[in-house]
Structure 1
Amino acid sequence: MTERKRAIRPMHPRDPAEPHRAATALELLFDLVTVIAIAAAAEGLHHAIAEAHAGQGVLRFALAFFAIWWAWMNFTWFASAYDNDDAVFRLLTMVIMAGSLALAAGVDALFRALDIHLVVAGYVVMRLAMVLLWLRAAGADPARRTTNLRYAGGIAVVQLYWVLLVVLGSPGSTAFVPLMLLGFLLELGVPAFAERATTTPWHRHHIVERYGLLTLIVLGEILLGASLALQAAAREAFDVRLVHVALSALVITFAMWWLYFCEEEQLHGSGLRRALLWGYGHLPIFAAGAAVGAGFAVLVDIVAGHAHVPLRVGDMAVAIPLALYMAGLWLVRDRFVLAGPAGLVLPLFALAIVALPFAFPALEAIAALAALAAAIRARLGHRHPGHHG
């Protein structure tokens, strides 16, 4: 029996130059589970803003989204380097999916009372499965054994921290949120520490595709907002403003898609510093995409008379994350690939979009600015290509 046909195979490193490397069916299933968790976080943000608890809702959305994104990202980069598609890899991936579902189920309690018991339980299940995967890789890849053991040990230690926080911490204490933030910093430090020994053989084109797929997932939250607007218009007393909300959601979704999936390369080179900036820098991009969807859901509630906040708040709930999305794209990509005026398009339009709701409610103007930003960036991008940093 050939090694390829064996149910259990050594977890040898993948070739980072492998041609035609694409997302697998298992990775797509993993993304499907991630959709549920992201939707739960976006729904929590939507209800918090609509009930006039925006500050609290944004903080708790950030906490939930970090956990969702970090678990997704760690699995994605590991799979890019070591996916051997054997039975053990498949089963451990399914364990991670089960943990993701538990995490999603706990998001509501996190938003209501900062209760993180179920979120942490699901998260720890996901991360301990990753520890087993890194240990398998350490046994089959002697050249990167130190790196892989650092990953396994670092992840295990941080999970102990989360368990202790749940057991000993009090959600009502002033130190609880700072302690959670400390846990996130510890999580972020594990790859930076591990990869300094020897970098893992992740596949650049595969990683770019995986990030693009998650971008499509978060943009789907905005399309859901458009659907909610049309449903409200059909179900309740017709209000033309709901049609405006739906059309604006479509325009903004298309503009955000156009801005992300441009002709310029998302990630040029495979240096550790650049990879960390690009990989970590996508957190505000992904979170902002989901938050724009929550903002449109807030607008639907406001127009339908189900929210406790004015229309301006709904516009801000769309404009602020949209501006953050543009700023994030500039941070991880545009400042490296565009020169001159082209490199300033996204930060300038981000400033204009975030300022607009403070002057007057104008959702249609926000959508127009988003479309204009995509058009101008595409036009100037052809004229002012930059260097790759």
Structure 2
Amino acid sequence: MTSGPAAPRPQHPYPRPVQRMVPRSRDEPHRAATPLELFFDLCFVVAVAQAGRELAHDLAEGHLHVALVGYLFAFFAIWWAWMNFTWFASAYDCDDVPYRITTLVQITGVLILAAGVPRMFADQDLTLAVTGYVVMRLAMVTQWLRAAAGEEGAARTVALRYAAGITLVQAGWVLVLLVPADVRPYVVPLGILAELAVPVVAELATRTSWHPHHIAERYGLFTLIVLGETVAAATVAVQSAVDEHEALGELIPIAVGGILLCFSAWWIYFARPVEDILTSSRQAFLWGYGHYLVFGAAAAIGAGLEVAVEQAVGKAHISAAAATAAVTVPGAVYLFTVWLLHARHGKSGAAQVVLPVAAVAVLACTFLGGSGVLAAGLVAAATVAVGVALHAREG
């Protein structure tokens, strides 16, 4: 038998003393993100910004393969550590002193990871990035061992499987640092698959008591923060270009298209509540894993806008079409993935195909060259308008 869920706990400005970590109720009313979780997200955005900055730099230099491989790997490390903490906190957040200190260790790990991102892109040096990642994940092991100590039966087995699985995979990442650089491209995907498999194997016996509304809110908040970082990165790029060049005629269409695309991305993501579709572990796993593309694409849009700005003022060593693709490709991926994960649920008829068609249209804007970013923004805004009109007609 597992221990009974704890009663709803209000958040306090000061942490509780050390207490037994027991699962929170899935039916707990008014469950919301805590200040600690929000601070945790903001610290992770530092790493997101580093990954986006390096992506933009390599794309502008025409190093497409290095840019994509480095970004996908760096963003996986960021996203996976964030996601694991988020789902654990949804089930076991006890907000006592050890819990907060362990979270601080995880934050320290992400800052180490962020510091290692430039080395990973420039020299394929994984040492600092892997060190930060392992710090984050071993802190997560501590959390799962505390959860196991407060559980019995199948729930205890789940917690111990998580702890053992995460520890084993971290040992694998340390070994990756010891293999020759030319072998790593074949080994790293195996490590990623092992990471993804841990929750699936751990929750074979029973599922943890994550809270659907809390999970939906946490993912939504991180989407907001990543989109905000995208706008900030684009703003800095435009400001730098204006300070050095008289190129407002080329920059204004990029700025307008970028803000339309970001605003539409926000609107589309929050067009409907999603907690009602998180009804099973299988659905939740697919939805949670799929957000790797949502978060990664949202952050990549900002990097793409930086590239488009640099190309417009003659700093990038790529064509206008390639610079536009740096915006339109992640934009299309974002629209299609949001539709696939939750926007399609509850829709029928014409409403069901709006986002997939919009994704194709945004991708087609790549071939418009310098005006493609503005066109992509207009397509995204038109998509929102069509969605609003269809919703009003159905209502």
TM tier relative to shorter chain: over 0.9
Match of 1:148 among 156, 159, 176: 159
Match of 2:232 among 216, 224, 235: 224
Pairing 1:97-112 to 2, within 5 Å after superposition:
97-112=107-122
Cα deviations across residues 38-67 of structure 1 (Å, max 9, x unaligned)?
A: 000000100010001122201110000000
Q: Does 1:241 align with 2:250?
A: yes
Cα deviations across residues 175-219 of structure 1 (Å, max 9, x unaligned)?
A: 312211111110000011111211000011111111011101211
Displacement after TM superposition at 1:265 (Å): 2.7
Match of 2:170 among 159, 172, 175: 159
Length-normalised TM-score, structure 2: 0.92
Amino acid at match of 1:93: T
SS at match of 1:336: coil
SS at match of 1:259: helix
The separation in 1 between residues aligned to 2:186 and 2:349, in whole angstroms, is: 40
The separation in 2 between residues aligned to 1:301 and 1:9, in whole angstroms, is: 54
What is the aligned partner in structure 2 of residue 352 from structure 1?
Answer: 361
Q: Does 1:286 align with 2:298?
A: no
Q: 216-225 or 93-102, which moves further after superposition?
A: 216-225
Displacement after TM superposition at 1:266 (Å): 5.2
Match of 2:322 among 313, 316, 321: 313
Pairing 1:75-90 to 2, within 5 Å after superposition:
75-90=85-100
The separation in 1 between residues aligned to 2:314 and 2:334, in whole angstroms, is: 29
The separation in 2 between residues aligned to 1:117 and 1:229, in whole angstroms, is: 30
**Structure 2 unaligned blocks of 5 or more:** 1-8
Displacement after TM superposition at 1:300 (Å): 1.4
Q: Does 1:195 align with 2:203?
A: yes
Pairing 1:253-264 to 2, within 5 Å after superposition:
253-264=262-273
Q: 219-228 or 369-378, which moves further after superposition?
A: 219-228
What is the aligned partner in structure 1 of residue 5 from structure 2?
Answer: none
CA 1:270–1:311 in 2, change beyond 3 Å: closer, same or farther?
same
Pairing 1:1-389 to 2, within 5 Å after superposition:
6-143=16-153, 144-167=155-178, 169-171=179-181, 173=182, 175-232=183-240, 234-239=242-247, 240-265=249-274, 267-358=276-367, 360-361=369-370, 362-381=372-391
The separation in 1 between residues aligned to 2:275 and 2:391, in whole angstroms, is: 14
SS at match of 1:337: coil
Q: 184-193 or 234-243, which moves further after superposition?
A: 234-243
Length-normalised TM-score, structure 1: 0.94
The separation in 2 between residues aligned to 1:16 and 1:264, in whole angstroms, is: 17
Displacement after TM superposition at 1:267 (Å): 5.0
**Structure 1 unaligned blocks of 5 or more:** none
Cα deviations across residues 257-315 of structure 1 (Å, max 9, x unaligned)?
A: 00001134355243111000110011100000000000000011112221111211111
Aligned length: 380
Tell me if structure 2 keeps the 8 A contact 1:95–1:126: yes
